[in-house]
Amino acid sequence: MRKIIIKSSIELTRDQKAKLEIGLNVDGSEIDYIIDEGLLGGIAILDGDKILDATAAQELIGMKQIADKLISDSMKNGVAIKDIPELLKKCSKNIVENKLDFKTCGKVISASDGVVHIDGLADCCYNELLLIGNKAFALAMNLTTDSIGAILLSGNAVEYGDIAYATGKIIEVPVGEVLLGRVIDPLGNALDGRPAVRTEMSRRIECPAPSIIDRSKVKDSLSTGILAIDAMIPIGKGQRELIIGDRQTGKTSLAIDAIINQRDKNVLCIYVAIGQRAAAVSKIVKTLEDNNALNYTVIVLSTASDSAPLQYIAPYTGAAIAENFMYSGKDVLIVYDDLSKHAVAYRTISLLLKRPAGREAFPGDIFYIHSKLLERAAKLSSELGGGSVTALPIIETQAGDIAAYIPTNVISITDGQIYLEGELFKAGQRPAVNVGLSVSRVGGSAQTKLMRILSAQMRLDIAHYRELAVFSQFGSSLDESTKEILNYGSKIVESIKQAECSPLSILKEELYLFAIVNKYLKKIPQNKVHEFLESYYNYIVSQEADVCKRIELSGELSKEDEEKLKTTTSEYVNAYK
């Protein structure tokens, strides 16, 4: 039997019902009259697969579209703000004179756990934004022959029978310098207690990555201020360098230190927190504020209590904000903390949408969602302004297993990884970088010439020390040369320890490396290595100011300047107590 559902905001009169039944030609069909105050006014008719929408909500949508166009056209022609009310009256007249036709839309046939299935909307596109009644927005994720699967982007209740509209839009978020110093959610709403973000600039969260021809070579250094990283695992502007390690090994601290080091370097920063505790993120905001780093940083926050869809779109929101800066010719550093939780959020969505599950219950396109995100990091060609986005994605491992599914996926996408080892962290090494498993595929091209020469020797010295340290555990006696290597190696390891929120300048790193590589720490006790390096740097800067200036300008060390440095350093070491 044919069943017709008629929804209205108020109860219809007997005459109204009779006219509707004549117009619909019911022929003995079953008719249900339902009162839905959310419709605001008008009626909606659900006749099998057909939906006729003549509600006030639909008319308001049409009115807004016409009003937006009228105001936009008028503003281009220089209409004053005081004249806008007249434009709105004109808009209302247009609505009356050009009555909107019934519009085909969809009907919610199921809603649970933040996932809705919609019947109808034959022209809906993947990732299209949907409006459900006047209550909530959803994102179309599954397009099947008989229904559309969508994920809710808000916590508003959605019920069976609610009407869904296709907006014809992809999610857009506000972008621009107005976001600097702000904490926002993945939809661009303010979370810092300050006024709402107001800007006319917006950008789609899903955009194609720059093509090969639009990119240039990654060769400019992005200094983190961390000696162990800048010396042995250099990062270039436009690179994607993975930070990987177990829980509580200093991954976030390393990324925050890199953000703090961009102060006064004309690099804008974006920190995307995915599934993090709100209390932990508030501490990060306080740290950035205390170090005068918040004014050039945007924080996109999706907490652990947020829905899986919001956690899923968070990194794409951050990427859209970063791309706007990049195409404006600026350099950007973006941190995704972390993509492990992002993968879990996407797995949750996929399972709720009843997609086929693969390895570890992850969907088959789990690699694609991360690759399309990280490929958006690039160094643009000079023709496009030369801007860059440098990505530092973070991945959390379980018991040091870097061969797990998600870690290996992201390792294969990025241009290298910084591996933080739990055992080194427990032993007091900060940052706990495992030099053997860490690598930068950009290499020395993102370093100054002096840094490249000095760091190559230090990497060899550390590798030799660690190799001998392993074998020395099995030997009862060691010769003098081995003891000397082990003794100096322990001082090198001590010298690259670094406290949080204390980044080093490039000149300071180069002078530290000069002293380390040329064995000037031999006479210095291990517990006084840091004290010596700090005082040594101050002494060299005061005594050899011209040499330091030439190093800063050229990034090289001439033979003459090298001899001066060696002479001055030797004098200081001999006089040091």
Residue 245, H or E segment: strand 242-245
CB burial string 410-432: b at 16+ within 10 A, e below: bbebbbbbbbbbbebbeeebbbb
As annotated, the active-site residues are 441
Q: Which of 519, 543, 540, 516 is closest to 530 using CA atoms?
A: 516
Q: How far is Cα 52 from Cα 61, in angstroms, rounded to an integer?
A: 15
Q: State CA 185 to chain mean position distance.
A: 12
Dihedral angle of Cα 221, 458, 513, 526, to the nearest 10 degrees: 140
Exposed e or buried b for every residue in 164-180, given b needs 16+ CB within 10 A?
Answer: bbbeeeebbbbbbeebb
How is the chain split among helix, strand and coil, in percent rounded to 5?
A: 45, 20, 35
Residue listed under structure tokens 């937006």: 68
The residue assigned the tokens 């436009």 is 238
Residue 235 backbone dihedrals phi, psi, to 5 degrees:
-115, 135
The total of other beta-carbon atoms located within 10 Å of residue 279's CB is 8
507-534 in b/e burial notation, b at 16+ Cβ within 10 A?
A: bbbbbbbbbbbbebbeebeeeebbebbe
Are 472 and 508 in contact by the 8 Å Cβ rule? The answer is: no
CA distance 355 to 93: 48
